[in-house]
Amino acid sequence: MSDHEEIRENGRPILERVLSAIMAGRVRMRPKWHFVLHAALGATGVAIALLALLWFAGFILFTLRETGVWLAPFFGPRGWFVFFASVPWLIVVLSLVFLVVLEFLVQRYSFAHRRPLLYSVLGIVFVVVVGSMAVAPVHRALFRFARENRLPFGRGLYLEYGMMRHPDFRRGRIFGLTPEGFVLQNDGGATSSVFFGPRTRRMLQSPLRPGASVMILGREHSEFIEAGGVRVLPE
Amino acid sequence: MGSVGYRFGVSDEEVAGFAERGDTQAFGELVRRYETRLLRYARRFLLRADAEDAVQEAFLKAYANIRSFDTRRRFSPWIYRIAHNEFVNVLKRRGVETVPVFDFDTLFPHLVSRDKPEDQAERAELRRLLDNSLQALNVKYRAPLVLYYFEELEYKDIADVLGVPIATVGVRLRRGRNALRKLVEKNTHHTA
């Protein structure tokens, strides 16, 4: 029995049923503007998700650079510990959520779904990493406004993340040298005595001198900081 | 029923263009051209009763969304995609396990290139084996096997119908053939 005979065997042909449903108005053609709006909403969603992702990624970069912890891995395993403890994980999680949303929206397009998922994910990550470098200075400017009390909203967020400090990690300038080490002055002008111990790692690309920019990994005691590691930073 | 003018030398895409402008007879011509093929595809997915209703529903959805079709693209993958999605919905309503939203074989690029083309005899033999064992195959492998061996769609079109990367189509075809061979061996062993 052929396929056409089988169609009629079960009653009205499919063609007749489809056309009769159309003629009876049981199904209507959606207007063109419906699909144009749908496409526009999709594109808007992609744009919003991408901008949000760039904003959050830029904020993460700003936080790591402003607090200085992006340099902490130079001190080895302990430095990596400080780094991971200082990463703004809530913002990272939000970024991942927007990454998933963006990937889901981008998969609607054939240039994305015809290729392995990994390609579009890597493409998005590349755009975000590059874009975040352009956005980070914006966050730095907003942080400055926050410190000057000129930011109408989000001031608390910027002060909290921008001034976050891990207790074992410090950055500042050498105020003066001492026989045991040096005096460190931070951005706010406060000073601390830094002592070198027998296990202090000194990563000195240039000699220690007053005014040099340094970072220190070390535990604070009541009146001094015992340096586990010291690194001179390039100016 | 239907206009003779649509039948000779007018491409599916041109007919779809007329249908988009409200020509019901043009849409009828598209139904005429594709109902046998979609029914054949549906029967390999679903039970007979389900197949006709599912194909009818697919055509009605295609009508409702015909203005989303870009006439610069090919009509065949577009209508097959609508039909495939409808058939998957039927399976879901029946509680049959379908392909998950995220599948690992769509994540990574695959180095396995397309297998060498089979000759006519090999394809005929595979079609015969498929016909006997399709219902036992995982839906994930059933769809690309049917679309490739029975509907004779290309990898690119199958990728568009299923919404997966082109390389994944090759991987699922290869794994589907392997699964089919294991089924055949198992059946042969049981009857022996």
Query: What's the whole-number mean pLDDT along residues A209-226?
Result: 86
Instruction: Report pLDDT for A9.
Output: 44
What ipTM was assigned to the predicted interfaces of this complex? 0.80
Write out the H or E segment, with its range, that includes residue A65. helix A32-67
Secondary structure of chain B in HEC code, one letter for each residue: CCCHHHCCCCCHHHHHHHHHCCCHHHHHHHHHHHHHHHHHHHHCCCCHHHHHHHHHHHHHHHHHCHHHCCCCCCHHHHHHHHHHHHHHHHHHHCCCCCCCCCCHHHCCCCCCCCCCCCCHHHHHHHHHHHHHHHHHCCHHHHHHHHHHHCCCCCHHHHHHHHCCCHHHHHHHHHHHHHHHHHHHHHHHHHHC
Q: Would the CB atoms of B67 and A114 count as touching at under 8 Å?
A: no
Output the furthest CA–CA distance in chain B (Å, rounded): 60
Distance between CA atoms of A165 and A85, rounded to whole angstroms? 10
Phi then psi for A217, rounded to 5 degrees?
Answer: -110, 115
Q: Would the CB atoms of A116 and B66 count as touching at under 8 Å?
A: no
Q: Tokens at residue A218, please?
A: 């070390």
Q: Tokens at residue A226, please?
A: 């015992």
- One-letter identity of residue A2: S
Instruction: Report pLDDT for B117.
Output: 58
Residues shown for chain B: 192
Give how far the C-alpha of residue A72 lies from the chain's centroid of Cα atoms, to the nearest Å. 18
Among A104-118, B95-109, B138-152, the minimum mean pLDDT is found in: B95-109
Distance between CA atoms of B145 and B130, rounded to whole angstroms? 8
Is B35 an 8 Å CB contact of chain A?
yes
Among A16, A28, A115, select the one facing B64 at the smallest CB separation. A28
Q: Number of Cβ pairs closer than 8 Å across A and B?
A: 95
In chain B, the percentage of residues whose pLDDT exceeds 70 is 83
Mean pLDDT for chain B? 84
Instruction: Report pLDDT for A207.
Output: 78
Is A23 an 8 Å CB contact of chain B?
yes
State the nearest Cα–Cα gap between A70 and chain B, in angstroms.
31
Strands A213-220 and A225-232: antiparallel
Q: If you search the block for the tokens 């959520």, which residue do you land on?
A: A97
Residue A5 has pLDDT above 80, yes or no: no
Measure Cα distances from A178 to A194, A201, A207 in Å: 9, 18, 14
Residue A116 has pLDDT above 50, yes or no: yes
Mean pLDDT for chain A? 86
Q: If you search the block for the tokens 């998933």, which residue do you land on?
A: A100
